[in-house]
Structure 1
């Protein structure tokens, strides 16, 4: 194996690791976001954990952050709770930073 091949393999492994960490961070962020929204909706305990899983699943439907935002906005509106788009996006960004730190720390 040439030096070039070794470097290419190393870059591919690093890319795969970065993508895995990104996926884990997004899932962690969505879980934290789901728990935060559940609290705002008055959902507690096992029901809050189940709601967080629904938020995680909303990301996986192929629409990404937009799917998560739509699910949460819909659920919030159905309960008559006020949560603006700007506040939701700010919370998503805040929790993403927290989730990345947790994933990097191995939490």
Structure 2
């Protein structure tokens, strides 16, 4: 019985670590995405950092990526930044991969 319990606890610990890693990667992706978007919006320095924080905070509005995407899409439209939805989503995917790699290597 102890063997089964140990195995179950091992799976639970791995799941918790995987979820924590996923959360960290998404938060880092959102920051990187916010900095990328800030550059497209002509923001630099502390303005870019503040905008990146807004993008990170936007992720807490609902589950999934739509809240982050919607924030940046709305801001791009208001500023006249011309990028397609697929270009924005592609950048989100690329930055998630980069963020995951950064988390893995840290």
Q: CA RMSD in A?
A: 0.9
- Whether the 8 Å CA contact 1:41–1:79 is kept in 2: the answer is yes
Shift, 1:6, TM fit: 0.3
Match of 2:2 in 1: 2
- Any gaps of 5 or more consecutive residues in structure 2? none
Unaligned runs of 5+ in 1: none
Counterpart residue number, 1:50? 50
Q: Give TM-score scaled by structure 2 length.
A: 0.97
Give the TM-score taking structure 1 as reference length: 0.96
Give runs of aligned pairs for residues 65-104 of structure 1, distance below 5 A. Answer: 65-104=65-104
In the alignment, is residue 17 of structure 1 matched against residue 17 of structure 2?
Answer: yes
The runs of at least 4 consecutive aligned structure 1 residues that moved more than 6 Å come to none
User: 1:37 & 1:55 partners in 2: Cα distance?
Assistant: 9
1:35 is aligned to: 35
* Alignment deviations for residues 77-96 of structure 1 (CA, whole Å, 9 cap, x no partner): 11011011010010001001
